[in-house]
Amino acid sequence: MQIDVITLFPDFFRSPLQCSLLGKALSKGIAQVNLINPRDFTTDKHHQVDDVSYGGGVGMVLKPEPIFAAVESLTNLQPREVILLTPQGETLNQSLLKEFATNYQQLVLICGHYEGIDERVQNIVTREVSLGDFVLTCGEIPALTLINGVIRLLPGTVGKAESLYADSFEDGLLDYPHYTRPQVFRDWEVPPVLLSGHHKNIAKWRHEQQLAMTKKKRPDLMARYEENSHNNK
């Protein structure tokens, strides 16, 4: 997969893209991430990428020309999505990450800044994505989140692929609790069932924990899970 990031701050990504599983995946060629600065596509001597808003208002707006030029400079691999990271977009979740990882050869991510982006950029955008109902100083943070979540799902990134299927949200529930050595820590003991070696009982306990944890922490997810379970009967 090729991921092209249109960003005014390429350095924001350099260290995270070299770390941990993400860095290993990129070094193995599982994915390729290109950082494109729209300032490189400006035509004035000051490399201006923003301007005041027509109609007045506080803050500067990103100009359309450098963004169009940056996107149009890219090799077009199909199928692809051109994604604008914006609070107005659909909320990023595990299902959406899986869709991106499975169905596309190329993702073009446009990172917003300042007060916003000229509305005409929407003419090259095919999708808008948000981390949630809040505002950040830049689009680089959600872009990095999306990159991490997508590349993690690509074959070869995670050593044991089966671990992906036990993740939170994979079956609509939160993850079950995990324990490791020591068996007793400050009077807190590992649940005996996990020491039993009885795989069927362990699986049953873990599923019960998923249900209980989802009901307690995310009743909205629990309601959706119960509705889906009812509809699939």
Q: Does residue 152 have an active-site annotation?
A: yes
Q: Does residue 50 have an active-site annotation?
A: no
Q: Of 81, 87, 128, 226, which is the active-site residue?
A: 87
Set out the domains of the chain in order of their start, with CATH numbers: 2-153 (3.40.1280.10), 168-231 (1.10.1270.20)
Q: Does residue 115 have an active-site annotation?
A: yes
Q: Of 81, 118, 167, 226, which is the active-site residue?
A: 167
Q: Of 81, 99, 115, 128, which is the active-site residue?
A: 115
Q: Of 152, 206, 218, 224, which is the active-site residue?
A: 152
One digit per residue, pLDDT tens: the chain, 233 residues? 999 999 999 999 999 999 999 999 999 999 999 999 999 999 999 999 999 999 988 889 999 999 999 999 999 999 999 999 999 999 999 999 999 999 999 999 999 987 889 999 999 999 999 999 999 999 999 999 999 999 999 999 997 665 665 555 668 899 999 999 999 999 999 999 999 999 999 999 999 999 999 999 999 999 999 998 888 87
Q: Does residue 99 have an active-site annotation?
A: no
* DSSP per-residue codes, the chain: -EEEEE-S-THHHHTGGGSHHHHHHHHTTS-EEEEE-GGGG--STT---EEEPTT--SSEEE-HHHHHHHHHTS---SSEEEEEEEEEEEEP-HHHHHHHHHH-SEEEEEE--TTEE-GGGGGT--EEEESSSS--S-SHHHHHHHHHHHHHHSTTSSSSGGGGGGSTTTTSSPPPP---S-SEETTEE--GGGGS--HHHHHHHHHHHHHHHHHHH-HHHHHHHHHHHHHT-
pTM of the model: 0.89
